[in-house]
Amino acid sequence: MNLPPLIQSFVLHFGEMGSRWGINRTVGQIYALLYVSPEPLNADQIVDALGISRSNVSMSLRELQTWNLVLLKHLPADRRDFFTTPDDVWQILRTLAEERKKREVDPTLSVLREILMQQPASDAERHAQERMSEMHGLIERLTTWYDDVKKLETDRLATLLTLGAKVTKLLEAKDKIVSLGRSKRTTEKG
Amino acid sequence: MNLPPLIQSFVLHFGEMGSRWGINRTVGQIYALLYVSPEPLNADQIVDALGISRSNVSMSLRELQTWNLVLLKHLPADRRDFFTTPDDVWQILRTLAEERKKREVDPTLSVLREILMQQPASDAERHAQERMSEMHGLIERLTTWYDDVKKLETDRLATLLTLGAKVTKLLEAKDKIVSLGRSKRTTEKG
DNA sequence: CTGTCATTTCAGTAATTTCTGAAATAACAG
DNA sequence: CTGTTATTTCAGAAATTACTGAAATGACAG
């Protein structure tokens, strides 16, 4: 590996984390390298920078493309492929969320739905279905929320994040006022 | 494996997903089994149900315990260990979020901080630091939001989810009113 | 203590995943 | 066409991860 020390730390870290994130070391390293690189890189540049085989680079780039995490670019009068990551970190976050959902959540949701359609043949199965139904309900709530929020433009999303739990405090206050109003009216009636 | 078909589907699915979630097949299967089981199970029951070795069960349960995803129970006059998962799916979600953050996010945040402290020695490093700083900023925002939201009780959290993006529509409306007020006052002054 | 039952550890093996080099394919210029 | 350059494929090697059986440890009753 042949990189400035500061960049190397970053690349190596992404490599190590790769396995925890469900991608492998090389894929993580290539992504990190492209992310910090000022311009697009071609496959041979990646080979030189990371000291891995050409074929490994090819396969790992393909993997990154299936994740929609890299962009293919072409320079005029050069038939090689050059790769970058999108500039906007918020866009990267959206892509990551979308792809992880597709891989980690959606299949489970569909398995749960399928099982819940079936007729339980025993108490054990009945109980299991109840538990699965709870899980299904939670995941559906989360994905509905996600579908709702992912449409927001970046600045709206940022606002939402900044608000955080404050929103519920507002709602709490509102609830109190409403219930006060109600109890007042009830008192007036009685 | 010796399980009612409906439960077996669930268990096998969790096994397959395991690798995508950064845990292994056996760990996923054991978790799924405990999740749908009406009462706590001991290690030998798990061995019978899943057809895996006793030592594997022991190691996998230990793994699940480090994730805080299973609870150890004891029955009176029985020295064996029995295991369950927490009942409340919302609590499970919190635990999962917390543990994944600890494993997948926090290390990256600390590496980024460390690198950003250093003095760049070239244009390449300067540019890389800028990119890392963007990433760092995004992750900090997300974790601040998360720290804020994770304290909410379940019903408040559920409310927040149900609201989803509606909150920003409210804010949008509020912004308009405020800016109308401002421009009116500006007009009055001018 | 001693014997029994439960759990954990761990070295070796099995299975899976990752990586490579060589060959195949593709895309193009002359 | 032919030669050159770029990319992909893929069978086997290397590395990593998961799993097992046997032995060790622990916990307790008598």
Instruction: List CB contacts (< 8 A) between A151 and chain B.
Output: 165
- Name the nt closest to A53 by C-alpha to C1': C20
Tell me the per-residue pLDDT of A2-32, one tens digit each, with 9 for 90 and over.
899 999 999 999 999 998 898 999 999 999 9
Could you give the CA distance from residue B174 to residue B181 in angstroms, rounded to a whole number?
Answer: 11
pLDDT in tens, chain B (190 residues): 889 999 999 999 999 999 888 899 999 999 999 999 999 999 999 999 999 999 999 999 999 999 999 999 999 989 999 999 999 999 999 999 999 999 999 999 999 999 999 999 999 999 999 999 999 999 999 999 999 999 999 998 998 898 887 877 777 776 667 676 666 555 554 3
Rounded to two decimals, the pTM is 0.90
pLDDT computed for residue A189 by the predictor: 47
pLDDT computed for residue A190 by the predictor: 35
Measured in angstroms, what separates residue B62's CA from nucleotide D22's C1'? 20
In whole numbers, what is the pLDDT of chain A averaged over residues?
91
Q: Which residue on chain B is closest to A104 by alpha carbon?
A: B20
Alpha helices in chain B (DSSP H): 5-18, 25-36, 43-50, 54-66, 89-100, 106-117, 123-149, 154-163, 166-189
- Name the nt closest to B18 by C-alpha to C1': D18
Q: Which nucleotides of D are covered by protein (CB under 7 A)?
A: 5-10, 16-22, 27-28
Q: Which residues contact B26 (CB under 8 A, 6 or more apart)?
A: B15, B18, B50, B52, B56, B57, B60
Task: Please compute the mean of the pLDDT values over residues A130-138 and round it to a whole number.
Answer: 98
The DSSP line for A14-58 is HHHHHHHTTS-HHHHHHHHHHHH-SS-EEHHHHHHHHT--HHHHH
Task: Taking the CA atoms of B23, A101, A132 and B2 in sequence, report the sign of the dihedral they define.
Answer: negative
Is residue B17 within 8 A of residue A106, CB to CB? The reply is no
